[in-house]
Amino acid sequence: MDHFEYKQGEMHVENIPVRKIAEQVGTPFYCYSSETLIRHYKVFCEAFEGQDFQLCYAVKANTNQAVIRTLAKVGSGADVVSEGELRRALRAGIPAEKIVYSGVAKTEREMAFALEAGIFQFNVESEPELHQLSRIATNMGKVAAIAFRINPDVDAKTHAKISTGKAENKFGIPLSRARAIYAEAAKLSGIRVQGVDLHIGSQLTDLDPFAEAFRRIASLVEDLRADGHDISVLDLGGGLGIPYDRETSKPPLPIEYGKMAKKIVGHLGCKIIIEPGRLLVGNAGILVSKVIYTKQGENRNFLIIDAAMNDLVRPSMYDAYHEIVAVKENKVASSVYDVVGPVCETGDTFARGRTLPELASGDLLAIRSAGAYGAVMSSTYNTRPLIPEILVKGDDYTIVRERPSYDDIIELDKIPEWLN
């Protein structure tokens, strides 16, 4: 079940009609359901019941403070990839001891900030990064707890732009180099080796690549222990996919993922960390937009809406499919549309040849599964203000990010003296 359902002929988010929010806030906007966020968090925890386990939400998927805090309150940790994300996670109430820091190239300043904060673990991705971390931690009189991100060289069978676990990708340390780099790390000051980390890609809809990667990592843990390292943490990364198209796509459920993971790595007795992003927030959010015009082309019917590629870039960037529904319930899907935004690029297209109820100027649409990698990847291209974000809880909702004014955006620019 989800919390975006039709009641009395119109779509609700939990108990609030989408139309009501649109009337009060204006379109377009993102709208998230607290209950859905919490439910997704809980299903993952249930999937790992019986294990020493910590879910570290990959905040990059949706960094709104209210979203992070909703998850923090039920016990979530965070996976961050920049100082900015680390600051957001801390500010939203995630304790430093539940934070892991991933990312291919942490800078000196970022390392120092994270050491000062006292995070749980750095996921180190290269030898130069290891040496820099050792130097900074030593200078600060601190010890960095680390795992190495291992690249297990498996094909995640997902979109090329979000596949990260093949040898040709820029991520992690090759499995063949792993024992040597752990040996090197053990000799360095300011470093305490505690774990192994991997992340093979995003929107995986098949468990096999995960299983293969986990098997390779499990055997590495045994080798590392034989080499004398105390490996107590296993970070399995994120990546479990969601059904963007509820009709045709049935990715594995968290419970199945957990069962598979426990079977392969459970016997190692490590604390298991997972870093899901999309699965927690993707289907907890919609983008609500209004039809500006309908337009009859030579042989296509365009639905031009007030959201655009700058608000949700996934369709134009990854050819991603997002379900689009009318906010007013109408079971008769009778018209075929290309759903497009107002930006002057053909890539500004949300869907082609989509069958929908007949719609007219002023009608509301919801683009589903927009909670992950939606607002966070948006921009002000075409000087379109970032759109508001709304969080619903039961009968209440709050604007958790306001729509900036045009002046707010324009005044970020400064005119040099010599042009005055």
Using rule CB under 6 A, residue 203 touches ligand LLP: yes
Output the smallest distance, CB 144 to ligand LLP, in A.
Answer: 18
Both tokens assigned to 213: 């990667």
Output the smallest distance, CB 314 to ligand LLP, in A.
Answer: 5
Output the smallest distance, CB 239 to ligand LLP, in A.
Answer: 4
Site string for ligand LLP, 234-273 (x = CB under 6 A): ---xxx----------------------------------
Binding test (CB under 6 A) with ligand LLP, winner from 314, 368, 384, 393:
314
Using rule CB under 6 A, residue 275 touches ligand LLP: yes
DSSP 241-302: ---SSTTT--PPPHHHHHHHHHHHHGGG-PEEEE--SHHHHGGGEEEEEEEEEEEE-SS-EE
The residue from 31, 45, 270, 344 that is catalytic is 344
Chain residues 4-43 in contact with ligand LLP, contact rule CB under 6 A? none
Site string for ligand LLP, 114-153 (x = CB under 6 A): ----------------------------------------
Binding residues with ligand LLP: total (CB under 6 A): 19
Handedness of CA 64, 70, 71, 73 (dihedral sign): positive
Residue 287 to residue 80: CA distance in whole angstroms: 25
Nearer to ligand LLP, 280 or 359 (CB): 280
Output the smallest distance, CB 335 to ligand LLP, in A.
Answer: 28
Output the smallest distance, CB 255 to ligand LLP, in A.
Answer: 16
Binding test (CB under 6 A) with ligand LLP, winner from 318, 342, 354, 381:
318
Contact between 342 and 328 (Cβ < 8 Å): no
Both tokens assigned to 142: 């601190």
Q: At what angle do helices 178-186 and 127-140 cross, to 10 degrees?
A: 20
Chain residues 47-86 in contact with ligand LLP, contact rule CB under 6 A? 58, 61, 79
Active site residue 344: yes
Residue 303, CB half-sphere, CA atoms under 13 Å: how many? 28
Residue 397 to residue 402: CA distance in whole angstroms: 13
Which residues contact residue 165 at a Cβ distance below 8 angstroms, ignoring those fewer than 6 apart?
Answer: 151, 152, 153, 154, 155, 156, 171, 172, 198, 199, 200, 201, 209, 213
Nearer to ligand LLP, 58 or 366 (CB): 58
Chain residues 219-238 in contact with ligand LLP, contact rule CB under 6 A? 237-238
Helices (H), 18-107: 18-25, 34-47, 65-73, 83-91
Output the smallest distance, CB 80 to ligand LLP, in A.
Answer: 10
Using rule CB under 6 A, residue 375 touches ligand LLP: no
Nearest to 338 by CA among 325, 317, 356: 356
Using rule CB under 6 A, residue 199 touches ligand LLP: yes
Binding test (CB under 6 A) with ligand LLP, winner from 277, 315, 371, 388:
277
Nearer to ligand LLP, 243 or 357 (CB): 243
Both tokens assigned to 42: 């809980």
Binding test (CB under 6 A) with ligand LLP, winner from 64, 70, 102, 151:
102
Residue 412 to residue 329: CA distance in whole angstroms: 42
Contact between 326 and 365 (Cβ < 8 Å): yes
Residue 416 to residue 338: CA distance in whole angstroms: 44
Contact between 318 and 159 (Cβ < 8 Å): yes
Using rule CB under 6 A, residue 321 touches ligand LLP: no
Using rule CB under 6 A, residue 373 touches ligand LLP: yes
Q: Quote the Cα angle for 72-148-181, to 5°.
A: 165
Note the residues at the interface with ligand LLP (CB under 6 A): 58, 61, 79, 102, 162, 199, 202-203, 237-239, 275-279, 314, 318, 373
- As annotated, the active-site residues are 344
